[in-house]
Amino acid sequence: MSTTELLRREWTTFRRPARLIALSLAALAVIALGLVSAARNQSSCAGDCPAVPIAGDGSFVGDRFWFRHRDLGPEGSVTVRLTALTGTITYPPPDHDRIVPGLVPWAKAGIIVKDGVRPGSRYAALAMTGAHGVRFQYDYQHDVAGSAGGVSPRSPRWLRLTRSGDTITGAESADGKQWQTVATVKLDRLPDTVQVGLFATSPGDLTLKRTGLGGATEQVRFTQAVGVFDHVVADGGGAWTSEPVGEMNQTDWEKHHHASGAVDDNGVVTVSGTGDIGPLSEDSVRSVENTLPGLVFALIIVLVIAARYGARTARETTARPVRAARAGVVGAAAFVTGLVATGVVIPAGLAILKGNGILVQPSPVLTDVRVIVGVAAVLAVCAVLAYGLGVWLRRGWAAVLIGLSVVAVPFAVTAIPLLPDPVSEWLLRVTPAAGFAVQQTLVEYPQVTAHYAPSAGYFPLPGWAGLAVLCGYTIVALRLALGGKPAGWR
């Protein structure tokens, strides 16, 4: 019998109404729960929400800071000496009852060249940070480290940005005489006149509150950074202008205690600001993963069907070609189920979220296709794994129990803030649930303050590596299934 005839015969054997109905329910679970979840997400803004900056690549970004600036032509530079960087953090733990002086790690004050003052426009900045030393950052996603350490009146830091056409060079100095280049970047198609000047910004203070068995949820508080500059020398023309990029002075702290802004006192310029310049934290937007809350239910159904079918196969035949063919049929059925489910819910769910005024991080079509095909492939491999366990163990209930324990349970418990982050990360490294890393589209940026944990949608392994872990387990299970029953079983 040819392979094609064998597969056709085994498909006929597999396609019992109960199994097909169960697979249909698995697909419907993914679609229904995804669409319901998307429909329940509504914009919380009264009226139109404030516009979110969009960078040149179409991604949402954070672009909020106080800016004291003037015009700069195609050639020129700005040089300053930063003598102090201080800040305020409101109501930090443990008691959340005080406003304290302090800087969050990615608070920034420095100098910036920017294509106008429109949020989302191109820029290059050189700044001192709260805990990461001098950094050269540009176009939101890019970050280059300069010298480490902090700044004080006794240990100031000189900063310089130089423009030559589309090329921006950042340099720093401890004494204003010996300069060291931090980085050089080319920002294509900069206009002849850009804005150059001083800025300050400070992202929210992020701490984690313990929940469940050691999991964590995020808490974020308002902060403000204050930079003190002197020896300000800037090429260009026109008067200095002081204004926020993005909304500012909306909080009670700014209204009643210390407004963000810039003050020039005989050449000593103090700039206060809040916000951030960089990729938008993923807790502020939705992505492809948010359309798949029903995936765990589909996974459970697929594992049960495959494990029981494997146990039945072990009782019916010992022929390796037949067992292998049935593994292929089970995997193909699960793949089609996942492909239909994700192919419907991802585009439809994203469309509903956008229609409800929810920010959805733009992703290329190929990325969406990669997630759709990847999730379907993972369901298929999980089905083959459970089938192999069923054949090897010859007990459907045992195969179901093990399959759920090593795949569905780790996937489910790491998706919520139940376990400590390190435990969740290791579960998604060493169990077959690692394969679900194929659905991840979130990107971790070191310069963005965020909770990079499985419960927030971040897998510890890249998609290909997670899939490799799952495939490794499945290959072992198939070898056991094709090699015979476990020792001691009759």
Which tens digit of pLDDT belongs to each residue from 307-322? Answer: 999 999 999 999 999 9
Give yes or no for residue 490 having a pLDDT over 90. Answer: no
The predicted structure's pLDDT at residue 488? 46
Residues 9-30: what's their mean pLDDT?
97
192-202: pLDDT as tens digits:
999 999 999 99
Task: Provide the percentage of residues in the chain whose pLDDT is more than 90.
Answer: 87
pLDDT score of 433: 98
- pLDDT over 90 at 57, yes or no: no
- pLDDT, average across residues 196-216: 94
pLDDT at 359: 87
In the predicted model, is pLDDT for residue 1 greater than 80?
Answer: no
For residue 104, which of 274, 247, 279, 281 has the smallest C-alpha distance? Answer: 274
Q: What is the mean pLDDT of residues 40-68?
A: 85
- Once rounded to an integer, what is the mean pLDDT over residues 318-339? 96
Rounded CA-CA distance 174/169 in Å is 17
Instruction: List the chain domain ranges.
Output: 3-41+284-483, 61-279
List, for residues 273-286, the tens digit of each pLDDT value.
Answer: 999 999 987 667 88
- pLDDT band (50, 70, 90) for residue 357: confident
pLDDT at 282: 63
Per cent of the chain over pLDDT 70 is 97
- 186 pLDDT exceeds 70? yes
pLDDT tens digits along 222-260: 999 999 999 999 998 889 999 999 999 999 999 999 999
Q: pLDDT tens, 98-107?
A: 999 999 999 9
Residue 489: partners with Cβ closer than 8 Å, 6 or more residues away: 393, 394
pLDDT of residue 50: 73
Q: State the CB neighbour count (10 A cutoff) for residue 444.
A: 11
Of the ranges 108-112, 223-227, 479-483, which one carries the lowest mean pLDDT score? 479-483
User: What confidence score (pLDDT) does residue 283 get?
Assistant: 65
Given this model, what pLDDT does residue 76 score? 97
Q: Which of 140-149, 192-201, 264-273, 442-451 is predicted least confidently? A: 442-451
Q: Provide the pLDDT for residue 431.
A: 98
Query: Measured between alpha carbons, how far is 396 from 334 in angstroms, rounded to an integer?
Result: 18
Instruction: Give the residue from 1, 478, 73, 465 showing the smallest Cα distance to 237.
Output: 73
pLDDT exceeds cutoff 60 at 449 = yes
State the pLDDT at residue 48.
66
Task: Convert the pLDDT of each residue in 399-433 to its tens digit.
Answer: 999 999 999 999 999 999 999 999 999 999 999 99
Q: Alpha-carbon distance 451 to 472, whole Å?
A: 30
Mean pLDDT of the chain: 94
Reply yes or no on whether the pLDDT at 294 is more than 90: yes
Collapsing DSSP states into helix, strand and coil, what is residue 471?
helix
- 351: Cβ–Cβ under 8 A, 6 or more apart, which residues? none
Contact 310, 323 (CB under 8 A): no
> Tokens at residue 447, please?
């310069």
So what's the pLDDT on residue 236? Answer: 85
Strand 223-234 relative to strand 75-90: parallel, antiparallel, unpaired? antiparallel
Task: Could you list the beta-strand ranges (E) of 363-414.
Answer: none
The pTM of this model reads 0.92
**From 1.10.10, 3.40.50, 2.60.120, 2.60.40, which CATH number describes the 61-279 domain?**
2.60.120
Compute the average pLDDT of residues 256-277: 96
| pLDDT value, residue 176 | 95
Q: How confident is the model at residue 142 (pLDDT cuts 50, 70, 90)?
A: very high
